[in-house]
Structure 1
Amino acid sequence: MPPAYDLLVIGDANPDVIVGPLAEPLAFGQREQLADSGTLTLGGSAAIMACGAARLGLTVAFAGRVGDDDAGRYVRDELTAHGVDTRALTLDPARPTPLTVVLTRGEDRAILTSPGTLTATSGRDVPHDLLTRSRHVHAASFFLQPRLAEDLPGLFATARAHGATTSLDTQDDPSGAWDPAALHTVLAGTDILLPNAREARHLAGPGGDTPELAATILAARVPLVVVKNGADGALCHDGRGLSTTPALTLTPLDTVDTVGAGDSFDAGFVAATLHGHPAHRALTFAAVCGALSTRAHGGTRAQPTWDEALAHTTLSGAPTS
């Protein structure tokens, strides 16, 4: 039976409230502070990645859990509007939808998340037929979903047994523990690891002091490591050698908001890989997708189409699946 989806995305989905930029540090003491903009938009690393991949033309399904509340219905409707199949998005009657507030200041940001259903999301939220009929399975926000983290190695094993490839973007670990045992288990079933430079250093442990060193260490555990390095571009290591790409600089491209840029990068890399491009070309395409996504507030509003991203890369025409 042929695959029903190009991509299954597993993980977090929530509304983001993005406020900023702040002109000074956040002040308590009941002080009122003003910011130039505030945006309510779809958030969650997995949700933003799913929307980006659908925008690039992949057929995408999403599996996860939100509350049976106004926020949860907003998430479901936004994913659907972006072309993502949400039949496996569970509406939980007992727990609220996660909420995230992003405060920006310059190029930095603070992220506050109320976990809600994230602590209840598990492998039971992922239908078996989606695992067995998707070409690729991507998971995000590993450390925010402890029950899903426990189940993820088994989910990846099932997907790979049915011919799928897998990828993981762990995102940050709020506890700061970066549990080596849990990571060892899940990385054993991961084909593509997609951290940013800071996360890569934590994941690599001792010796991973630079993105290049971290990628080299991690490439001994995962077939392909792809590290997002902000204004310095991105790099990948396949266990044999290192490839790099610069960050996209366009004029008059105006960077409005970098929230979700890494997730749009993930979508670009997976899309290019599924279309048969080698890692070094997928890297360049992904960097373009991440950069173009910063043209508007929120993670999904400026995500590029395949043709828009292609216009800024050296890929030789739109490939076929």
Structure 2
Amino acid sequence: MSPPIQAPAPFQAPQAGATADARFDVVLAGSVFFDIVFTDLHGVPSAGTEVWADGMGSTPGGIANLAVAASRLGLTTSLASVFGDDVYGRWCWELLEEHEGIDLSRSRRFENWHTAVTVSVAQHGDRSMITHGHPSPISSDALLSDGISSRTALTELGVMSSLEQEPWWLRAAGQGTRIFADVGWDDTGAWDPAVLEPLSSCYAFLPNEREAVEYTRTESPLAAARALAAHVPLVVVTCGKDGAIGIDSATGEEVRVPAVPVRAYDATGAGDVFGASFVLGTLRDWPLEQRLTFSALCSALAVQQFGGSLAAPGWGDIADWWEATRASGDADLIRRYSFLQDVLPPERAGAVRRAEATFRLIDHFPPGRHTLSGAQGAAPRDERPAG
């Protein structure tokens, strides 16, 4: 039997007033990947065989999933990451900055360091992935060494467990930034409770049900959420097709919301969309049930598309869903989502970009603007890895 969880220190509220005039709504740091997603496979690949896929999409992945999800909901978003000077890296930079409106002033591009690549195979609502890449030439802490003004930050707790220095988001928390944390999958099976020690500096914790149950040594998502609520103001446990559970430890409020029934096509990035949506609702001071309900909808809309970051819904997608739902006469959905009438933007939002199979170089690197041999015009600064 696994040992009982050792409780992290009680939550300590960050300094007040530090984010009243913050430049950004959300700050993120992490690795960007170039994702190639295959869908509608004719079979399951096995040794010595070739399988064709009817669908293919190219998209920025990794931390870009979360950045795009936040930006498409209207949150001013800053991303600190490292980009290669190859075509993949330049394409990801341009798409994120120019098309998705994400601030990359804290990101850097390095010469002779290629972009990490992930090939994702989506089938039966889930996915398998193969990734190749190299260690980043600079850490997220170095990219954000002088701090950044943001109302919230989203981070992963497990990333800091091996660091000797204080991570960037802990410094931000001390200056009033509200930290929304999740936790990575533990492929060792240890589920070491020490990973949760930084919860005392977090505002919200959003694990999935397996992670929550394993780390707390409990028997159900609800029991896990209650155990975690003793150490962080806000806990949300996502439960896939069973919806989500939220507990506000300050008020004692417990909320459980169902998932929105959809046909799942590709689950890549669904958790990131949920997290970004929950941050939006929090910044707008929505009730807990409304935040969870909205986040469940946004993640459901995302899994109907393929392509990770570019599957994230915009306000136009949400408005289309609400219009179709009202027309369908589904009384339960109409009742649960009636608040959308008050939060949808007054002006109709345009369509967001979806993943395409590939891209033409001339569309993204026209002569005299971006070149493959060096930066021109608005291209980011090249740097060389140290050492």
Name the TM tier (shorter chain). Answer: 0.7 to 0.9
Give the letter aligned to residue 14 of structure 1: F
Residue 308 (structure 1) shift: 4.5
**Equivalent residue, structure 2, for 1:262:** 271
Q: Corresponding residue for 1:274?
A: 283
Output the amino acid matched with 1:67: G
Render the CA deviation track for 1:92-140: whole Å, top value 9, x for unaligned.
335432222222221232223334245853311225341xx11111124
Give, in whole Å, the separation in 1 of the partners of 2:284 and 2:139.
31
Verify: 1:166 aligned to 2:187, yes or no.
Answer: no
Three-state SS of the structure 1 residue aligned to 2:80 is strand
Query: 1:50 pairs with 67, 71, 92, which one?
Result: 67
Pair 1:243 & 2:262 matched: no
- Distance in 2 of aligned mates of 1:23 and 1:216: 44
Letter in 2 for 1:315: F
Which residue is 1:123 aligned to?
141
Higher relative contact order (CA 8 A, sep 6+): 2
Q: Distance in 2 between matches of 1:79 and 1:214?
A: 36
Whether 1:134 and 2:133 are equivalent positions in the alignment is: no
Q: CA deviation at 1:180?
A: 2.9
Paired AA for residue 146 in structure 2: H
Instruction: Name the counterpart of 1:199.
Output: 211
Amino acid in structure 1 at the alignment position of 2:248: D
The one-letter code sitting in structure 2 at the alignment partner of 1:125 is L
- Supply the distance in 1 between the matched residues of 2:104 and 2:61 (Cα, whole angstroms): 15
- Structure 2 residue aligned with 1:221, among 231, 234, 237? 231
SS at match of 1:217: helix
Match of 2:71, SS state, is helix
The SS at the match of 2:83 is strand
The TM-score normalised by the length of structure 2 is 0.71
Q: Deviations over 1:283-313 (max 9, x none)?
A: 1111111111223221233423346437743
Q: Distance in 1 between matches of 2:317 and 2:239?
A: 22
1 CA distance for matches of 2:180 and 2:246?
Answer: 14
Query: Unaligned stretches of 5+ in structure 1?
Result: none
The aligned counterpart of 2:32 is 13
Residue type at the aligned position of 1:16: D
The whole-number CA distance in structure 2 between the counterparts of 1:174 and 1:118 is 22
Report the CA distance between 1:68 and its aligned residue. Answer: 3.0
Tell me the SS of whatever aligns to 1:296. Answer: coil
C-alpha deviations, 1:220-253, integer Å up to 9, x for none? 2222111221111111122324211111136xxx
Distance 1:103 1:59, change over 3 A: same
Give yes or no for contact 1:153–1:189 (8 Å, CA) kept in 2: no
User: Deviation at 1:73?
Assistant: 1.8
- Give the counterpart letter for 2:179 in structure 1: T
Residue 12 of structure 1, CA deviation: 2.7
Bigger Cα displacement from structure 2, 311-320 vs 235-244: 311-320
Task: State the aligned residue count.
Answer: 307
Q: Describe the SS at the equivalent of 1:88.
A: coil
Q: Indicate if the aligned counterparts of 2:203 and 2:234 stay in contact, CA closer than 8 A.
A: yes
CA deviation after TM superposition for structure 1 residue 51, in Å? 0.8
**Aligned-partner Cα distance in 1 for 2:112–2:185:** 27
Runs of at least 5 residues in structure 2 that lack an aligned partner in the other structure: 1-19, 323-336, 346-387
The answer to whether the 8 Å contact 1:276/1:319 transfers is no
1:237 aligned counterpart, secondary structure: strand
Q: Given the alignment of the two structures, is residue 232 of structure 1 paired with residue 242 of structure 2, yes or no?
A: yes
Equivalent residue for 2:339, pick from 310, 315, 319: 315
In structure 2, what is the Cα distance between the partners aligned to 1:236 and 1:152?
32
- Distance change >3 Å, CA 12–CA 47, structure 1 → 2: same
Confirm whether residue 41 of structure 1 aligns to residue 83 of structure 2: no
Quickly say closer, same or farther: Cα 1:300–1:38, change in 2 above 3 A.
same
Q: Equivalent pairs: percent with the same residue?
A: 31
**Does 1:60 pair with 2:73?**
no
What's the RMSD between the two structures over aligned residues? Answer: 2.7
* Change in CA separation of 1:178 and 1:92 when aligned onto 2, cut-off 3 Å: farther
| More deviation, 189-198/150-159 | 150-159
Q: Write the letter of the residue equivalent to 1:79.
A: L
**TM-score between the two structures when normalised by the length of structure 1:** 0.84
Q: CA deviation at 1:90?
A: 2.1
Q: Give the structure with higher Rg (CA).
A: 2
Tell me if 1:304 matches 2:286: no
Distance 1:151 1:220, change over 3 A: farther
Distance 1:151 1:247 in 2: 40
Deviations for 1:10-51, whole angstroms, at most 9, x for unmatched residues?
2232111212344554312x311222322211211x311111
SS at match of 2:78: strand
Aligned CA distance change for structure 1 residues 109 and 42 (closer, same or farther; 3 Å): same
